[in-house]
């Protein structure tokens, strides 16, 4: 996936780190000290739709197959810039009863972006 | 858009970099996303956090986390990169510290309801109890039996929840498993558990269990309940039963 560096406008990943102390949440979140709220942004012109992320390789093979023959059921599909690889995050925090909860949350951090 | 979905960043608004409030909008979106993923309606209001010594003791005993040089706690990330499948069941570990009960030998545990979750199934529950040796220890005895009774249950108003023979060569922590029946009260609405801790041989052996002491002296050795819970949506659980 591409990292957004302000120079490209095609689908890329924008890093956005939030330190819990800066937002006044470090009193109830014990760990980690911050969160990568990365998000995806940028255009998905048709010629690159479905071309990123190994997980989409089958998808892009089908698209290219049709495109070579001129006919494509995917011509008018508008593809979206979405995370194509996500990572879990473990959190340790106080709940309303002041118990400590450790939770491993799936799909919490966007690691790569690509055109759906 | 704001609904929890498999695509975390879809819940973040598309922002124009120029607007100065873009950053605060994004921070609000991140906050909302974190609360969504933790199934919390709003951030908990922490009025009396657990003493840090008790917290660090529990984390160290349970190998949940360690304290870094800068004093921050570090936990083991769940090693799962790539597109993880969304589980219909979310497992959590809950550490609940004992509050003082109606009498000195009773401790009380309270578990919070999580917003929007249908069912909490307790997979495992252990009480961690610190037995402290006094200097007048009778060396002839090397083990004592600790018993936990659930107040308000059973024939004479209490049901034996668990008992364990523990070694008392030195002061230390001991885990005592909590029976299925006692776990059941934690999965229901009131989500509380009141236990009476007894140890008939302790006085003679010169050892005592540290309970929810009124003084701060023993704060770091306050008993705690360790739960492994699974929150499942009701329909998933029903399918599972079928």
Rounded Cα distance, B138 and B48, in Å: 39
pLDDT 10s digits, B95-105: 999 988 888 89
User: Quick one: closest CA in A to B70, which residue?
Assistant: A33
Structure tokens at B146: 């600790």
User: Would you call A89 and B49 a contact, using CB atoms and an 8 Å cutoff?
Assistant: no
Q: Answer whether residue A70 shows pLDDT above 90.
A: no
Interchain proximity A102–B92, CB inside 8 Å: yes
Q: Do B130 and B175 meet the contact criterion of CB atoms below 8 Å apart?
A: no
**Helix H or strand E encompassing A16:** none
Q: Once rounded to an integer, what is the mean pLDDT over residues B125-130?
A: 94
Please tell me the distance from the alpha carbon of residue B221 to that of residue B171, in angstroms, as a whole number. 11
pLDDT of residue B233: 62
Q: Which pLDDT belongs to residue A82?
A: 94
**Contact (Cβ atoms closer than 8 angstroms) between residue B83 and residue A55:** yes
Q: Which residue of B has its CA nearest to A32?
A: B74
Q: What is the pLDDT of residue A65?
A: 54
Backbone Cα Rg of chain A: 19
Across all residues in chain B, what is the average pLDDT? 77
Confidence band for B120, pLDDT divided at 50, 70 and 90: low
Contact A108 B95 (CB under 8 A): no
* Beta-carbon separation of A91 and B82 below 8 A: no
**Mean of the pLDDT values across residues A64-92?**
74
pLDDT above 50 for A55? no
Q: Is B34 close to A111, i.e. CB distance below 8 A?
A: no
Contacts of A95 in chain B (CB under 8 A): 40, 44, 94, 112, 114
Q: What percent of chain B has pLDDT over 90?
A: 31
Q: Taking Cα atoms as reference points, which of B142, B134, B125, B129 lies closest to residue B196?
A: B129
Chain B nearest-CA distance from A106, in A, is 6
Residues of chain B contacting residue A30, judged by C-beta atoms under 8 Å apart: 55, 65, 73
List the single residue in B7, B75, B79 with the smallest CB-CB distance to A102: B75
The DSSP call for residue A52 is S
Taking residues B64-78, what's their average pLDDT?
Answer: 76
Q: What pLDDT sits at residue B146? A: 96
Q: For residue range B181-217, what is the model confidence (pLDDT) as tens digits?
A: 777 777 666 678 889 999 999 998 999 999 987 666 6
């Amino acid at each position: 996936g591409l990292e957004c560096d302000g120079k490209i406008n095609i689908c890329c990943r924008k890093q956005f780190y939030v330190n819990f102390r800066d937002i006044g949440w470090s009193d109830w979140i014990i760990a980690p000290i911050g969160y990568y709220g990365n998000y995806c942004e940028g255009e998905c012109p048709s010629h690159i739709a479905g071309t990123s992320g190994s997980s989409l390789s089958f998808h892009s093979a089908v698209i290219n197959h049709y495109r070579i023959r001129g006919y494509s059921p995917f011509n008018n599909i508008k593809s979206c810039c979405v995370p194509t690889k996500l990572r879990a995050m473990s959190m340790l925090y106080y709940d309303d009863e002041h118990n400590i909860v450790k939770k491993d949350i799936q799909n919490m951090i966007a690691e790569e972006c690509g055109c759906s | 858009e704001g609904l929890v979905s498999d695509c975390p960043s879809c819940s973040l608004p598309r922002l124009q970099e120029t607007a100065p409030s873009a950053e605060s909008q994004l921070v609000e979106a991140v906050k909302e996303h974190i609360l969504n993923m933790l199934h919390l309606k709003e951030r908990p209001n922490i009025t009396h956090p657990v003493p840090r010594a008790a917290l660090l003791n529990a984390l160290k005993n349970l190998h949940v986390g360690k304290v870094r040089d800068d004093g921050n706690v570090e936990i083991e990330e769940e090693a799962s990169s790539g597109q993880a499948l969304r589980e219909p069941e979310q497992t959590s570990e809950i550490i609940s510290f004992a509050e003082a009960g109606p009498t000195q030998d009773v401790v009380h545990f309270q578990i919070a309801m999580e917003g929007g979750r249908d069912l909490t199934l307790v997979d495992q529950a252990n009480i961690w109890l610190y037995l402290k040796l006094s200097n007048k220890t009778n060396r002839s005895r090397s083990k004592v039996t600790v018993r936990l009774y659930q107040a308000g249950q059973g024939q004479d108003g209490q049901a034996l929840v668990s008992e364990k023979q523990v070694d008392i060569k030195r002061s230390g922590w001991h885990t005592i498993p909590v029976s299925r029946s006692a776990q059941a009260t934690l999965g229901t609405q009131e989500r509380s558990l009141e236990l009476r801790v007894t140890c008939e041989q302790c006085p003679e052996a010169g050892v005592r269990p540290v309970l929810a002491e009124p003084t701060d002296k023993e704060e770091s050795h306050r008993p705690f309940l360790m739960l492994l819970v699974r929150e499942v949506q009701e329909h998933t659980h029903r399918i599972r039963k079928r």
